[in-house]
């Protein structure tokens, strides 16, 4: 299995630009998660989907952030407009349900906003 | 709400030393507990897990036992190697929720 695939792996963008991060979960997994990792805050859950439906988006920082999951094999996390404080590693992860099954992580998208 | 607290690092050890990284949790009900490891520049990988009280998860020489009475899931390894240098995350999940992580503990092992 290819695992969770994220793109881009690295992105450097200017403040104010739109950033779109993409994720392809493991085939057959019906739960998808977006996490953000920073030195200051560690790993924070931004949002998670179950069967393509957003279940908990309480971790989304503000209206500049939005996430979609149009089908079972694709999700996007968009930041518009981006700010320097959004610089972080964004991880996508997937699992079969959320009842103790292993959650598999992608390799992350390293975002730098200058 | 649910939370995970793990010892702050960095933890610096010599090769073949004994490792303990403490992890305690707060949760309603009976969560499943995990240790994930993150090597430099990579994503998180599951190291081990335990889904009920008194279960012991083990992998690659690492062990952790789910202790409900002390709400703990401490990670141990009898003899660490340089290749174990990484960041270790304790985490919990309950049905219908996402993984909640501790802050992470950096382990540095020197030869």
pLDDT in tens, chain B (111 residues): 889 999 888 999 999 999 999 999 999 888 999 999 999 888 899 999 999 999 999 999 999 999 999 999 999 999 999 999 999 999 998 877 888 999 999 999 999
Average pLDDT over all residues of chain B: 94
Q: Which residue of A has its CA nearest to B33?
A: A100
User: How does pLDDT run across A50-96, given as a tens digit for each residue?
Assistant: 999 999 998 998 899 999 999 999 999 999 999 999 999 999 999 99
pLDDT tens column, B28-47: 888 999 999 999 888 899 99
Q: How far apart are CA A76 and CA A53, in angstroms?
A: 13
CB contacts of A45 in chain B (<8 Å) are: 98-100
pLDDT at A1: 62
Mutation pick from A46, A97, A103, A110 vs chain B, by most beta carbons of B within 10 Å, is A103
* Contact: B43, A106; criterion CB under 8 Å: yes
CA atoms within 13 A on the CB side of A6: 26
Distance (Å, rounded) from C-alpha A74 to C-alpha A26?
10
Smallest Cβ–Cβ distance between A45 and the set B34, B98, B104 belongs to: B98
The mean per-residue pLDDT over the stretch A12-37 comes to 96
Strands A10-13 and A109-113 come out as parallel
B37 alpha-carbon distance from chain centroid: 8
Cβ of A99 within 8 Å of Cβ of B95? The answer is: yes
- Three-state secondary structure call for residue B84: helix
B43: closest chain A residue by CA:
A107
For residue A42, the chain B residue with the least C-alpha distance is: B103
| Residues A57 and A77: beta-carbon distance below 8 Å | no
Are A56 and B98 inside 8 Å of each other by CB?
yes
Confirm or reject contact between B26 and chain A (CB < 8 A): no
What is the β-pairing status of strands A104-105 and A88-95? antiparallel
């Amino acid at each position: 299995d290819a695992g969770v695939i994220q793109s881009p792996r690295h992105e450097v963008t200017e403040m104010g630009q739109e950033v779109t991060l993409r994720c392809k979960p493991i085939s057959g997994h019906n739960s998808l998660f977006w996490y953000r990792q920073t030195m200051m805050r560690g790993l924070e859950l931004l949002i998670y989907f179950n069967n393509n439906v957003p279940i908990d988006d309480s971790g989304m920082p503000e209206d500049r952030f939005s996430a979609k999951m149009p089908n079972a094999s694709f999700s996007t996390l968009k930041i518009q407009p981006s700010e320097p404080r959004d610089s972080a590693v964004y991880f996508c992860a997937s699992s079969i349900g959320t009842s103790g099954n292993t959650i598999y992580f992608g390799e992350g998208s390293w975002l730098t906003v200058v | 709400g649910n939370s995970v607290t793990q010892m702050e690092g960095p933890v610096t050890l010599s090769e073949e030393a004994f490792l303990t990284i403490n992890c305690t949790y707060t949760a309603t009900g009976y969560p499943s507990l995990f240790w994930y490891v993150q090597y430099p520049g990579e994503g998180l990988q599951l190291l081990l897990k335990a889904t009920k009280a008194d279960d012991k998860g083990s992998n690659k020489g690492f062990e952790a036992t789910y202790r409900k009475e002390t709400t703990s899931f401490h990670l141990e390894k009898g003899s660490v190697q340089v290749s174990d240098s990484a960041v270790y995350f304790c985490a919990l999940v309950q049905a219908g929720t996402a993984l909640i992580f501790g802050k992470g503990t950096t382990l540095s092992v020197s030869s």
